[in-house]
Structure 1
Amino acid sequence: MLKVAIIGAGAISRAHIDSYLKFPERCQVVAVTDIYVDKAEKRIAECGLTKAQAFADYTELLELDIDLVSVCTPPYTHADIAVQFLRAGKHVMVEKPMASSLEECDAMNRVAEESGKLLSIVAQNRFRTPMMKLKSVLDSGLIGPVVHSQIDSYWWRGHSYYDLWWRGTWEKEGGGCTLNHAVHHIDALLWMMGRPTELQAFMSNTSHDNAEVEDISIAMLKFAGGGLGQITSSVVHHGEEQQLIFQGKDARISAPWKLVASSSMDNGFPTPNQALASEIQAYYDNLPEVAYEGHVGQIDNVLSAIERGEQLLIDGHSGRATLELILGIYKSASTGEKVTFPLAADDPFYTRQGIQDNVPHFYEKSASVENFQDRAITTGSNLK
């Protein structure tokens, strides 16, 4: 029975706790910490964690008999907390984004390797049936080489969203919608396509004059094989429609699932390629459903990696790759320059201070609320 601690009792902690509760024979939540200890106590009570204790200071847990911690705190704290627990011999799962800088990511990965403990970064959308099936169809090669990829990470957040004390600043949140919302879709793009060789990007703050950070960005990508891509990251899109589209040389597929295959008539105009479409659809239909979706699926993967040595689907190196692409978007949008990868250790956007010194401050933060009412939150489309 693995003993689990939750660091940070904010809204996303509920997704972690509910997921651990799906596996009562494998793990038990024994501690919840938050700087506002009443939030930790409330979370324990509402989730029925009869064996859990509330703490205000997470460092009290470093010497306790705990196997795994879920880090659900603001992004600027992720690296320090993860490093401390890895050094203390605990496995660590960190909410997105992994950290505020590549320098911090490298420190986390180095300590994980030295300690021999697992470091997993939350990217729960990989653990959805449409995503797993989409990845499998891409890997099959049935659609041919990908010539264009389109990532629409559309979310909507009201003006007051950035009133929470740590949101809306480059120092504490680390960025806006590109880092904290589109991170899911950017992770999926890298998982499916690999890293682009270069990009050009723009960003703006159109609707949230109480935040320093962007509320929309658009990036244009070029891949080694010549294919192009685009990523739109937003918290200003009503309806929150989200999709990943891959245009192959022979067919188009997406999540939510849509399939179109075309052939050329003698004059070059399209005609449906029903044979190929039927082949791809049959392949898709025969792929298995995932056993557990979302956070439940990722926690099952982490528990299995601890228990039986199974491979982590999302480790610290995956988390770092996602952050590197996001920081490439920030660098290009801030400087107006085309960005090529990888970003080197001497790049201004490698360190937290370098990022803060080089990004635009669209507005100054004008409000600071300690806590919001604990209401339901949206964690993205199910892509079905």
Structure 2
Amino acid sequence: MTGTIRVALAGCGVIGRNHARVIAEHPAFTLVAAVDPVTGNTARLIADHPSTVAYTGLADALREQNPDLVVICTPSGTHLELARQAVEAGTHVVIEKPLDVSVARAADFAALAEQAAGRVVTVISQHRFDPASAAVARAVQDGRFGTVTSAVASVAWWRDQAYYDGGAWRGTWQLDGGGALMNQGVHTADLLLWFLGRPVEVQATAGLLAHDRIEVEDTVAATVRFESGALAVLLATTAAYPGLTTRIQVHGTRGSAVIDNDRLEYFHSHTTGSGPAGAGSVTGGALTGNQAEAEVGFDDTPAGPRREDDFVLGHRRQYDDIARAVATGTEPAVTVQDALRSLAFVRAVYVSAALGRPIAIADVLAGEYSDVHLDVRPA
């Protein structure tokens, strides 16, 4: 494709407006349509992007604007209905996380996407494009940590009751698909799978501990066994006042790394120094902070507290990849199959919490347990 990629954005809430900002600032894209049944949402978006035309339905935008790309930022349970419309109309498609709330629907869509020759279909996993995440993934692939043995992932956030009361779809199984893990923790779960490989089995416990009037969990803890034999612990919560950082530790026989709030906080490999770090301490060949980032070759993530702009840096990098994939006709860095695997993993966590026993991810992908639902509400 030559020239500007014309974009129709479906879903003009908070995350949709973030996408609109990134799209408008990117030289490869032009935002031509804003789609949302809530006219107040499109009005707020168009106030910032006045050349964009408002629509209440995607079909009209597809027919009148003939976009090259549809970006879907609606509630999670509606993603694939719109994505299917876009694919069948012949456009490229970008879907905000998660792919959907149903593994069965996601698997059907993955098959459709594979048949969409010449079209880019991708799912937002913007943290795969953070320099820290990319550096750790590269170190794992290059064997710099030796045999990867374990990981610890924690998403310890706070969402007050007003957050859940602010939208009728929030905190519902039908449209949100889950709580702290599906909504807030899915990116961290995706990184865990990216670093450690194919998950085999999970065992989990979940609860609703700090919120009212929602169906889903606000706290979940899981242990994970991977195909390689590696083990991981995952915690996701929106009940950690006042809200702490997102943190991933990756451990191996020859090194370890820690990512905290998208920054590479710690990096040690047998290639970084003359000796191993001491037990439980940062010594020997271990690097921290800016040293660690210099070691793995990046310095473009700003130091210090997060700025407002930092929250869209990953999206900007992923849109670079989307533009490349559209222009060259090649596969995007994040595929629908990647997103399907992450969704099946999250679903397996919920099934395990509901049944109180280990669950094989392969069984979830095969369509088992589709009728199992987690109920965390007080009796």
1:16-38 deviation digits (Å, cap 9, x = unpaired):
111112223x2210000111123
Report if the CA contact (8 A) 2:208-2:376 is conserved.
no
Higher RCO (CA < 8 A, seq sep 6+): 1
Partner of 1:54: 54
Letter in 2 for 1:302: I
Three-state SS of the structure 2 residue aligned to 1:113 is helix
Cα pair 1:210 1:363 within 8 Å, conserved = no
Equivalent runs, 1:152-163 vs 2, <5 Å: 152-163=154-165
1:327 to 322, 339, 347: 347
Rate the CA distance shift 1:210–1:305 in 2: closer, same or farther, 3 A.
same
Task: Say if 2:268 and 2:287, in contact at 8 Å, map to a contact too.
Answer: yes
Aligned equivalents of 1:75 and 1:167: distance in 2?
10
1:259 aligns with 2:267: yes
1:287, distance to aligned residue in structure 2 (A): 2.1
Shift of 1:341: 2.7
Provide closer, same or farther for how the CA distance between residues 158 and 188 of structure 1 changes in structure 2, counting only shifts above 3 A: same
- Residue 249 (structure 1) aligns with: 253
Secondary structure at 1:63's aligned position in 2?
helix
Kept in 2: contact 1:137–1:284 (CA 8 A): no
User: How many equivalent pairs are there?
Assistant: 352
Distance verdict in 2 for CA 1:288–1:241, change over 3 Å = closer
- CA distances 1:126-150 after superposition (whole Å, capped 9, x unpaired): 1111111121222221221122100
Distance 1:157 1:178 in 2: 13
2:308 aligned residue: none
Q: Quick one: distance in 1 between partners of 2:296 and 2:280?
A: 28
Conserved 8 A contact 2:348-2:364:
no
The code of the aligned residue for 2:375 comes to P
Corresponding position of 2:111: 110
Q: Deviation per CA, 1:41-92: give whole Å up to 9, x if none.
A: 22111x2x23210111222123241100110100110010101110110111
Preserved contact between residue 266 and residue 292 of structure 2 (Cα < 8 Å)? no
How big is the shift at 1:283? 8.9
Matches of 2:323 and 2:160, distance apart in 1: 36
RMSD across aligned positions (CA): 2.5
Contact 2:154/2:247 (8 A) holds in 1: yes
1:106 CA displacement: 1.4
Contact 1:177-1:215 at 8 Å conserved across structures: yes
Determine if the alignment matches structure 1 residue 95 to structure 2 residue 96.
Answer: yes
Alignment partner of 2:14: what SS? Answer: coil
Distance in 2, Cα, partners of 1:300 & 1:150: 30
1:184 partner amino acid: H
From the superposition, tell whether residues 178 and 307 of structure 1 become closer, same or farther in structure 2 (CA, over 3 Å): same
Tell me which amino acid in the other structure corresponds to 2:56: A
CA contact (8 A) 1:263 1:270 kept: no
Q: Name the amino acid aligned to 1:101.
A: S
The aligned counterpart of 1:79 is 80
Matching residue of 2:11: 8
The DSSP-based 3-state class of the residue aligned with 1:297 is: helix
- TM-score (structure 1 length as normaliser): 0.85
CA displacement at 1:339 relative to structure 2: 0.9
Query: Is 2:268–2:286's contact at 8 Å kept on the other side of the alignment?
Result: no
Partner of 1:169: 172
Of 208, 214, 223, the match for 1:220: 223
Letter in 1 for 2:61: L
Q: 1:289 to 1:126 in 2, by over 3 A?
A: farther
CA contact (8 A) 2:197 2:227 kept: no
| Matching of residue 301 in structure 1 with residue 301 in structure 2 | no
Per-residue CA shift, 1:244-284, capped at 9, x if unaligned?
1011112221113213577599xxx7897725769xx6796
Alpha-carbon distance in structure 1 between the residues aligned to 2:245 and 2:280: 28
Q: 1:286 to 1:222 in 2, by over 3 A?
A: closer
Q: Contact conserved, 1:127 with 1:290, CA < 8 A, in 2?
A: no
Summarize the Cα distance change of 1:112–1:263 in structure 2 as closer, same or farther, 3 Å threshold: closer
8 Å Cα contact 1:143/1:249 also seen in 2: yes
* Corresponding residue SS for 1:142: coil
- Give runs of aligned pairs for residues 183-332 of structure 1, distance below 5 A: 183-238=186-241, 239-256=243-260, 257-260=265-268, 263=276, 274-275=284-285, 285-288=295-298, 293-332=313-352
Which segments of 5 or more consecutive residues in structure 2 lack a partner in the other structure? 270-274, 302-311
Question: Is the 8 Å Cα contact of residues 7 and 58 (structure 1) preserved in structure 2?
Answer: yes
Alpha-carbon distance between aligned partners in 1 of 2:31 and 2:281, rounded to the nearest angstrom: 57
Query: Helix, strand or coil: the match of 2:362?
Result: coil
